[in-house]
Amino acid sequence: MKNRPLSSLFRAIAALVLPGAGAAASVADLPPLFWRDCATLDIEGRGFPGETSSPYVRIPDRWKDAIPEGVWRNSRTSMGMCVRFVTDSPAVGVRWSAAALPPPHPQMAPGGQTGIDVYRRAPGGEWTHCRMATPDPKTKRGELLLDWTPGDECLVYLPMRIPNLASFEIGVAEGSSFDPPPPHAVAKPVVHYGTSIVHGSRASRPGMAFPAIYSRLADVEVVNLGFPGLGKMELPMADLLAEIDAALYIVDCDWNMEAEEQQERYEAFVRRLGGLKPAAPILLCGGCTETGVARTQEVFAKGVYDKLKAEDPEKWANLHFLSGVGQLPVSSDATTDHIHPNDYGLAHMGPIYAEAVKHILFANPNKENEP
């Protein structure tokens, strides 16, 4: 995939990070709100709707004994989930509560751990950021009230790292509409399996995780199956992914895998997923790097990709590869620790993934679709 011109990239980043309309308001300034329990709404980013013990966890109970214990434990968060709707209300509210909050992390902003994030889109327009809010650490409850432009679409991201979220509600003025949003460009979701980077580990707020960024830019629903330190391509995880009827599967585990693990699992995982979902595209990703040089894990992964494509071009016509080189600027300012991208790095990655996703899903299927 060719690099985007810098001016185009900077415009994309500005659209993602500059605040838009939607100011915080005092309770006295707002009309009475009618609150909806989000458990009764269509929550996007859920791979298994109606199958989990809570609407705010990512994997059903029946998988508990089949997948690594750490993956199961981490799946108790609502990472990547969001609610979209259109309302003619002059105000929008969000409130949520947790049984427990994660301990502070030295490299993570509070908003990236426990915050909610709100975006707005005028009819025919682009998404702009409104506000982010975090819960009170003492009460473990949070509330955000916003002035709203009637008729605008609202997008609310749930917290990324709160385990077992207790409640989540959306409020609009009594008597106001609460309508379904416009459909995405494709009906099925993109399933993105990977590491803490996929999870959004160092994002300052949920909307800055790079899967959230490319979801908005490419107009696709994303099921975020990023697991910090635990994206290791065990075969049962291929079976789990295949249970989700996806438009595209993204496998993005390089940063979590040692050479021995790649040799043992990588090719077997890709063959398993491809065998279970032969008609669905699969995008293999080299881990993002700020060095401008492909990491050893990417070289191995690309070798598996090349082997499969040469072995049976027709069978693997829907297999694609995206290099980690170029995903980040060649700059030590793009990460917190030379591994995990910060907001600057994530804003660089989002448009690159958006272009790759759009190329695979929307390009002419009769020609080679390589990002």
Give the 3-state secondary structure of the chain: CCCCCHHHHHHHHHHHHCECCCCECCHHHCCCEEEEEHHHCCCECCCCCCCCCCCCCCCCHHHCCCCCHHHHHHCCCCCCCEEEEECCCCEEEEEEEECCCCCCCCCCCHHHHHCEEEEEECCCCCCEEEEEECCECCCCEEEEEEECCCCCEEEEECCCCCCCEEEEEEEEECCCCCECCCCCCCCCCEEEEECHHHHCCCCCCHHHCHHHHHHHHHCCCEEEEECCCCCCCCHHHHHHHHCCCCCEEEEECHHHCCHHHHHHHHHHHHHHHHHHCCCCCEEEECCCCCCCCCCHHHHHHHHHHHHHHHHCCCCCCCEEEECCCCCCCCCHHHECCCCCECHHHHHHHHHHHHHHHHHHHHCCCCCCCCC
Examine the pLDDT at 131 and tell me if it is beyond 60: yes
Percent of the chain topping pLDDT 90 = 86
Residue 24 confidence (pLDDT) = 59
- Residue for token pair 């682009």: 126
User: Would you kindly state where each structural domain of the chain is located, as residue ranges?
Assistant: 23-58+81-173, 190-362
Span 311-334, pLDDT tens digits: 999 999 999 999 999 999 998 899
Residue 107 confidence (pLDDT) = 84
Determine the average pLDDT of the residues in 252-265: 97
Reduced to 3 states (helix: H, G, I; strand: E, B; else coil), residue 96 is: strand
Confidence band for 30, pLDDT divided at 50, 70 and 90: confident
Using left for φ > 0, alpha for ψ between -120 and 50, and beta otherwise, residue 260 falls in alpha
Using left for φ > 0, alpha for ψ between -120 and 50, and beta otherwise, residue 166 falls in alpha
Distance of alpha carbon 210 from alpha carbon 354, whole angstroms: 9
Residue 105 confidence (pLDDT) = 85
Residue 27 confidence (pLDDT) = 52
Distance of alpha carbon 16 from alpha carbon 117, whole angstroms: 13
Span 186-235, pLDDT tens digits: 999 999 999 999 999 999 999 999 999 999 999 999 999 999 999 999 99
Which of the listed CATH numbers 2.60.120.260, 3.10.450.50, 3.40.228.10, 2.30.42.10 matches domain 23-58+81-173? 2.60.120.260
Q: Which amino acid is at 225?
A: L
Residue 240 confidence (pLDDT) = 98
Determine the average pLDDT of the residues in 57-69: 97
More confident residue, 369 or 76: 76
Examine the pLDDT at 366 and tell me if it is beyond 50: no
Reduced to 3 states (helix: H, G, I; strand: E, B; else coil), residue 329 is: coil
Confidence band for 19, pLDDT divided at 50, 70 and 90: very low
User: In 3D, which of 233, 231, 244 has the Cα closest to residue 59?
Assistant: 244
Which residues are CB-contacts of 306 (< 8 A; sequence separation ≥ 6)?
Answer: none
Examine the pLDDT at 8 and tell me if it is beyond 60: no
Examine the pLDDT at 371 and tell me if it is beyond 90: no
Confidence band for 26, pLDDT divided at 50, 70 and 90: low
**Can you read off the two tokens belonging to residue 364?**
């002419």
Residue 108 confidence (pLDDT) = 87
Determine the average pLDDT of the residues in 144-150: 96
Span 264-315, pLDDT tens digits: 999 999 999 999 999 999 999 999 999 999 999 999 999 999 999 999 999 9
Examine the pLDDT at 16 and tell me if it is beyond 90: no
> Under a CB-based contact definition with an 8 Å cutoff, are residues 143 and 94 in contact?
yes
Residue 11 confidence (pLDDT) = 39
190-362 and 23-58+81-173 share a CATH fold: no
In CATH, the architecture of 190-362 is: 3-Layer(aba) Sandwich (3.40)
Residue 9 confidence (pLDDT) = 42
Strand order from edge to edge, sheet including 248-252: 222-226, 190-194, 248-252, 282-285, 319-322
